[in-house]
Amino acid sequence: MMQQSVEESTVGGNMSMSSDENTVVVLGCGAVSVDFLATVAAYPRPDQKIRSTSFKVQGGGNAGNALTCISRLGLKPRLISKVANDTQGREILHELQLDGVDTSYMAVSPEGTSPFTYIIVDSQTKSRTCIHTPGFPPMEPVDLPESSLLSALNGARIVYFDGRLHETALVVAHEAVKKNIPILMDAERLREGLDDLLKLSDYVVCAAQFPQAWTEASTVPKALVCMLLRLSNIKFVIVTLGKNGCIMLERSDNGDPSTEEVDVDKLLESLEMRKNGNIYIPTCISSPVTKLRAEGLGTVCGRLYVATAENIPPSELVDTTGAGDAFVGAVIYAICANFAREKMLCFAATVAAAKCRALGARSGLPYSTDSLLSSFMQ
């Protein structure tokens, strides 16, 4: 195996958003909902009656949460989604608008019901259980007139999808490709129409189980290599691992043709050995650009990154609901700000950790002016 030169960083590069950051537009298409969050001392057994220790009603849905994060970080998000003209729908719109999300491209059905989710937060295990009820009627492409679509895409720096509303999302994605606007896909789990969106994407952020479920590869590193081989447009793919941080594989077209191939599983092991999980703040370790081999699948030229999550004291960890959405929102900001990759992963981990210190998907989302983000925003 070739000798590896490993880079380690707690922040990464020092590039920041340009002076026109308040004009950077991000278009998102996906789910919104109302979340009913009940905190309990421990998750109930069947037929057991318990009382909540705290309760909150707050906006939710992957796209709604991620775009709220993006807005608080200083960008200008626009959202394509659908609600009904009921009490919950009006509250969804109002809360998004208060947080600076442009809802003028959302469809509002005169009848029906808006989406909502019951969330049980277990104080003992720090886990959350979600029971979602989709809205009705569902969003269809006819709900987004061509004039609205073109207006929504006008000036957009990047387009984000959470995998919902796949028929409408595909219409938006094809138009974004025509306009050379990059696409970031949040691949939480296997969904109808997801493959078509992935083929058009430039960046993918995955939940822990997704890469192996989608590729049927035996390990996560092999699955990431397989994803880059199958999806020729992808610049990088990230898999989030909760408290264990994340792994990213970035494609490179600048590799040395004579470079020796490296087994991707063994490379990950070598990077993991260099991690320092005792450091309080997020850190990132990366390999050099090399040929990464996934046995039986193929080889891709790229760079592997391993990043830690913030080590949150148990007394400060409140709720993980929406942590993934916060991570995605921060990644989108970092792409727009041209952050170095190491800096991007540390930044996203910091934003996600801030969210976990409050109940609900949005209460803990930080603002760009918060002191905890000052080292990234310089």
Q: In a structure prediction context, what are the per-residue pLDDT tens digits for the chain, which is 378 residues long?
A: 333 333 445 444 434 454 455 589 999 999 999 999 999 999 999 999 999 999 999 999 999 999 999 999 999 999 999 999 999 999 999 999 999 999 999 999 999 999 999 999 999 888 899 999 999 999 999 999 999 999 999 999 999 999 999 999 999 999 999 999 999 999 999 999 999 999 999 999 999 999 999 999 999 999 999 999 999 999 999 999 999 999 999 999 876 666 789 999 999 999 998 877 667 889 999 999 999 999 989 999 999 999 999 999 999 999 999 999 999 999 999 999 999 999 999 999 999 999 999 999 999 999 999 999 999 997
- CA angle 83–163–147, rounded 5-degree value: 55
Report residue 53 as tokens.
């220790």
Identify any residues that bridge with 132 across adjacent strands, giving them in sequence order. Answer: 117
Provide the pLDDT for residue 277. 62
Cα gap 330→352, rounded to integer Å: 8
What would you measure as the largest C-alpha separation in the chain, in angstroms? Answer: 66
Domains of the chain: 7-45+52-365 (3.40.1190.20)
Q: What is the DSSP letter of 312?
A: -
Predicted TM-score (pTM) of the model is 0.92
Q: How far is CA 306 from CA 60, 125, 317, in A?
A: 29, 26, 23
Cα gap 221→297, rounded to integer Å: 11
Provide the pLDDT for residue 188. 93
